[in-house]
Every structure is written in C-alpha cells, then in structure tokens.
Amino acid sequence: MKSLPPLLLVFTCLAAPAGHARAFPNPDQKPAPGNEQPQVPLSQAGYRPEVNYQLQCAGCHLPQGQGAPANDVPNMIGFVGSFLRVPGGREFLVRVPGVAQAALNDEQLAALLNWILRRDGIAGDSTPADAEPYSADEVAAIRHRMMDNIPGTRSGLIHAMREQGIDINDGMPAPKP
C-alpha cells in the first residue's frame, strides 16, 4: 500500500473527526444562563420599530439611514419620504426586496415604514405632511408582488421626482435618462 504525502496526511487527519467527537449535541445539556427560553421568530418578538430597523435595515442602510453608496445602498436621511410624492413610490417602498422580504409580519413592517417616514425621524421633511400611514392590510396587499426591474423602477421614480423639482440627495449616481 502506497503511503500518503505528508501534507495530504496532515489534511486528512485534520478533516477527519476524532473518534470520540459528537456529531450531535448532548440532548441532556442545559442551555447557557439567559437562554433557557426557546428563541422566538422576529415576526412574533414584539420589538419596537426602532429595534426592527436595527435588526432588519441597519446592516445595509447603516444605523441612522445614511446608506452606503459604494455598495449601491442609498441614503434615506431627509430623502426617503420623497418616494411618497410620486406615483408608484409608495408601493416601491414596500416592494424593495429588503423590505418585502424582511422577517417581519405585515403589521410590524407597516410600523417600521411609518417610523422611517416620520417627519421627526429618518425621512425628515421629505415626507409629505399629508402622507397617510401604511396599514398592515396595505403592506399585505403589496409586499408579495415582486419587481422585475428594481433599478429601472427606482430610476423612473427618481426621474419623476426630478421633474417635480425634488432634490435628490440619496448619495447615488444620477440614473441614466
């Protein structure tokens, strides 16, 4: 029998589990202190919208909504409410994949969007004063309709905003006409 080269032998030994290692956790093992209760899905956790923003949005849009244009993530501060000023913008905000696919139920998602769009929050004065808050029923009716062309849809909405003279301060490059 031919012996294995030393490097392959080391790799094989490291890759193979030790004979006494368990592939499955010990069913009698007690949870660490503080983890005695089973985890609850986010959609049942009952967190405030601010917490849901940190858990669902801040990873891309950053903690204050400043975005990361280098990663194609727009700034929302003082701008995101502008989508409510153009036809199709309200639906767009619900159908953005990170929103539509969030691990939140429809009521939580409506509350999160309303929190983001508050005039004293991330959206600031960009939200129209007469903007209706989202309802769970509205979110449920919209969120599961996928967008075929997200950049194209967004570009069209930005174009409509520009036609209304809305300042586009989302930190993203200007869409091509």
DSSP string, 34-98: T--SPP--HHHH---HHHHHHHHTHHHH-TTS--BGGGTB---TTTGGGGGGSTTHHHHHHHSHH
Judge if pTM exceeds 0.85.
no
Task: Examine residue 8 and state whether it is found in any structural domain, yes or no.
Answer: no
pLDDT digits (tens, 9 = 90+) for 83-102: 999 999 999 999 998 899 99
User: Which of 4-18, 125-139, 152-166 has the lowest average pLDDT?
Assistant: 4-18
pLDDT digits (tens, 9 = 90+) for 14-60: 555 555 555 566 778 777 787 777 777 777 888 899 999 999 999 88
| CA dist., res. 135 & res. 139, Å (int) | 6
Task: Examine residue 11 and state whether it is found in any structural domain, yes or no.
Answer: no
Instruction: Give yes or no for residue 9 having a pLDDT over 80.
Output: no
pLDDT digits (tens, 9 = 90+) for 115-142: 999 999 899 999 999 999 999 999 999 9
CATH code, 94? 1.10.760.10
Token pair of 83, please?
């989508």
Number of folded domains in the chain?
A: 1
Closest by CA to 51, choosing from 126, 111, 138, 132, is 111
